[in-house]
Chains A and B, each alone.
Chain A
């Protein structure tokens, strides 16, 4: 090949390098730097290049990791969980239907407390038609199984998240997935600054933890009677409590080492005249920030840690800035629920405060989310003053050949 996308990672990175990369290769690079022992994933659009990039680095000899080819996503997650339980630092990646196929083994990784990391390039589920484009499938299912979830807005954030995920996983002993929007980030070329290998090594030291060992035999995931199961679950629940604190600490350490400060929730222009804020996560935040350069009367709340959901922090932010109305944008829907899944988390966090909000379902299956959606949502919100009626609406859907639902042209 005349072009080698992973070339920069073939040798030790000694100082911060500014470069341009697509999201998937950037993740592959960051994973290389965290020095995993096992990489095991099954390819699926739009996740493919992340694993492809890693195979390049392993083949080239830079990374001494076992690169394991498997026959399906279920095999990938099972192998990864087991490898991680045996003490190996392990990385896997998937999207959409592959994530569904993994479902069976996902709760096991949580229950066994393995510090596994997984990248997800968010892509729609196949219903009613197949789509390889972006939706937030990861919010629609499996989000209550106990995986930590970070969501990234751009290539720099997803690169950093790959390193943060290792820090969070190994400090909390819960598996962590980090998500970027499929194609929009996974295939976009953006500028980013790479962290020197030495700093990554300091941030992600390999430390001892409980592992499978022949000298200390035991049964993993064996059957228990009703006399034990609830205690097991409560034990997990309690172990989950400090995770948000661990995340905050990881963000802080990372910020001190690299100069890039992250938080569980990031806010922009909240002390605005209309006391209204958009609330969303992922790549849409960038669209809103650009749009806000001309619309200075609204703010933005960006959720970076989706699981565990930082509900106390959200309450604090809304209270401190006297936010009266929230415009929630999300790329997933719920065909049965009162609210789509991301909004549901927010609704339960806001319940004690009674903040007025509406949820707008946009950008499903890769439809672009533009200033048109933001303009309409902002305008609609001006006349909403209660929580009565339907709390969500689809925005940017053709009702017929001539009409867009809920929009006057």
Chain B
């Protein structure tokens, strides 16, 4: 485990980098902002540049150091020492361990045990911490907002800032009552974090960026793309079209359709913004409802609201649960 004194020493001459994985709307960027606010030295936070949409996977980055010249760089973060994942469903969708150097930390909001996570991410050289932030959020905040709570786990493993420093930052940013509840939730998170320490410490003095990784070799070069900026569908030089994006993971709800009750009125088909209501032509020559395309459904629930006979229902994708592996049983050496 890292000690506060050691981390302080490292921060004098090196930068410590963090990455947050979240979904649009979960507040990953706010979490990284709070890190910069709470840190006593110099810090920069960058969201992943581009358009953020509700429910889509997002990333944000933080660089912290006591040396202002090191933080002055606007280079993106390539080798994060601490990665926090706010939504467990991202583990299978995004490469959350990309660039983490040996001995880095992966902090996940989940009720899964650490061994399962290790199997999912296929990395045995990084340390893992878990926190069931969703449950704490529903208990304390009465809302499934986990961005501040995961910072509790981050404090526990990284010692980059203290609970008091983070509380100050939250007080500045949030209104009174909300701030108080968030701080209470963070306190609970610090206590409840489950740590699975592999006994490897990250080498903060080595920067783990792969040379020229920003140029992304493997994608077609300018000579292959030489088509006046046009991507012809049949040539498939690069994957084209929004139908290839798995927007089905963006939603909070699983949408269920009951064939028995459905009257084939097709109102849901007309209202769906993503063509996620499937229909097929029957023997009678008419179109009949056939199901819901889970790959594209963002669970906007327009279909559920418009259905005149309640043939469409919803089910929450992740629910609250308890921490599976208590800290004293696993790891913690």
Contact = CB atoms under 8 A, between A and B. Distances in A.
Interface of A: 2-3, 19-20, 45, 127-129, 132-134, 154, 181, 183-185, 187-191, 283-284, 286-287, 289-293, 366-372, 396-405, 407, 409
A371 B75 contact: yes
A128 B228 CA distance: 6
B48 to A, nearest CB: 10
Given A2-B174, A20-B45, 16 more contacts: A134-B49, A154-B74, A181-B74, A191-B36, A191-B42, A286-B74, A287-B74, A367-B214, A398-B217, A398-B220, A399-B221, A400-B221, A401-B217, A403-B221, A404-B212, A407-B212
A283 B49 CA distance: 15
A288 to B, nearest CB: 8
Determine chain A's interface SS by DSSP, over half rule.
loop
A290 B70 CA distance: 5
Contacts of B222: 397-399, 405
Given A371-B75, A399-B223, A404-B217, A191 B43 contact: yes
A287 B215 CA distance: 17
Nearest to A5: B173
Contact of A409 (B32, B45, B49, B211): B211
Interface string B43-83: 11111011100000000000000010111111110000000
Interface of B: 30, 32-33, 36-37, 42-47, 49-51, 67, 69-76, 172-175, 178, 209, 211-212, 214-224, 228-229
B46 A187 contact: yes
B169 to A, nearest CB: 9
Contact of A290 (B73, B178, B212, B229): B73
A400 B224 contact: yes
A287 B45 contact: no
Given A2-B175, A20-B33, A287-B73, A188 B215 contact: no
Minimum-distance CB pairs A-B, first 9 = A128-B229, A290-B73, A183-B49, A398-B221, A400-B221, A189-B45, A286-B72, A368-B214, A283-B74
Given A289-B69, A369-B75, A133 B50 contact: yes
A188 B72 contact: no
A366 B71 CA distance: 20
A279 to B, nearest CB: 17
26 contacts: A3-B30, A20-B36, A154-B72, A154-B74, A183-B49, A184-B49, A184-B74, A187-B49, A189-B45, A190-B45, A191-B36, A284-B74, A286-B72, A287-B75, A289-B72, A290-B71, A292-B69, A293-B69, A368-B75, A368-B76, A369-B75, A370-B209, A371-B209, A396-B212, A398-B221, A409-B211
A346 B212 CA distance: 28
B45 A188 contact: yes
Contacts of A286: 72-74
B216 A2 contact: no
Contacts of A291: 73
Contacts of A283: 74
Given A289-B72, A398-B220, A407-B212, A189 B36 contact: yes
Given A2-B178, A20-B37, A401 B75 contact: no
A217 B71 CA distance: 56
